[in-house]
Amino acid sequence: MPGMAVRNPRSKPPRGDVRAAERYRRLPAGVHGLDPQTVKQDQRERLQSALIELIDEKGYQAVRIIDLARLARVSQPTFYGLYRDKEELFIAAYDRVAGKTASTIMAAYDRRAPGHERLRAAVRTFAELAAAEPQAMSLYLLGAFGAGPKVLEHRRRRLERLEAHIRASRDRSAPASASDLTVEFILGGIREVAASRLRQGRAFPGSPTSSRRGRPPIPASRRRAWPSGRQSAGRRRARHLRRPPSARCAPRAGCRAVAATCPDL
């Protein structure tokens, strides 16, 4: 049409770039009157979201600062003005996901009902959260591996904190030992089932991808393995002891507890 500029089809950005631009839309540039802290918080959240997305795509070790800055639509100097390094960003992103996960689960668990109904509600809520935000749950359950001992220790403390909150809210009418064991089995089973689904690319019931093929399994090159391909008894024992109490229970028993609580998970 006359007077209308014709766009060169070759100049059209790839579809993935368009979607990324929509997800990581920047605040207005120049003189906008926004509080500087609001701008910094927006940049932090974009960087955390970018880290979650990139770790899910290619693993922690392969993520570079330049990749994060590009996806989050910030400059590298801006990144270093907000975070010291990738590890500090990871811990911030992990705390964001862990905080939301804990508050969501506890909101479902902290209600007046028999203990088995409260646990069922907590399991169901976790499954719904994992279905709605699989990348965030992948970070919560799997993303810390390969990120170094400091991050793994931070992850352990956050998981133990959630377990302690659930244990503190347990049904007081039930024996403490039995209730604590149930909590450990349920939480261990939740993580076992969810982590298995995430590793294999299988969707959770109710997720948008539950009726079609999920993401492909994590490539073998991203899985950590012992040099010999097998763990010695001593290493297995040491790894077992480093886990939070809820992760030390027998995975099969935990999975059976989850299956009994939510058969369709």
Mind listing the pLDDT tens digit for each residue in 34-77?
788 888 999 999 999 999 999 988 889 999 999 999 999 999 99
How far apart CA 32 and CA 141 sit, in angstroms, is 39
Cβ-contact 149, 212 below 8 angstroms: no
115/79: higher pLDDT? 79
If pLDDT is split at 50, 70 and 90, which confidence band does 144 have? confident
The residues, ordered by sequence, that sit 6+ positions from 92 with a Cβ below 8 Å of its Cβ are: 44, 48, 83
For position 260, what pLDDT does the model report?
55
Q: List the structure tokens of 31.
A: 């003189």
How many residues comprise the chain?
265
Give 195-213 as a DSSP string.
Answer: HHHHHHTPPPTTSTTTTS-
Cβ-contact 56, 141 below 8 angstroms: no
Residue whose pair of structure tokens reads 């099969």 in the numeric block:
252
Nearest to 179 by CA among 189, 191, 195, 168: 168
Which residue ranges make up each domain of the chain?
Answer: 34-83, 95-210+241-261
pLDDT over threshold 50, residue 247: no
Weakest-pLDDT range from 2-11, 82-91, 113-122: 2-11
Weakest-pLDDT range from 58-67, 128-137, 184-193: 184-193
Weakest-pLDDT range from 29-43, 91-105, 162-176, 187-201: 187-201
**Top-tier CATH class for 34-83:** mainly alpha
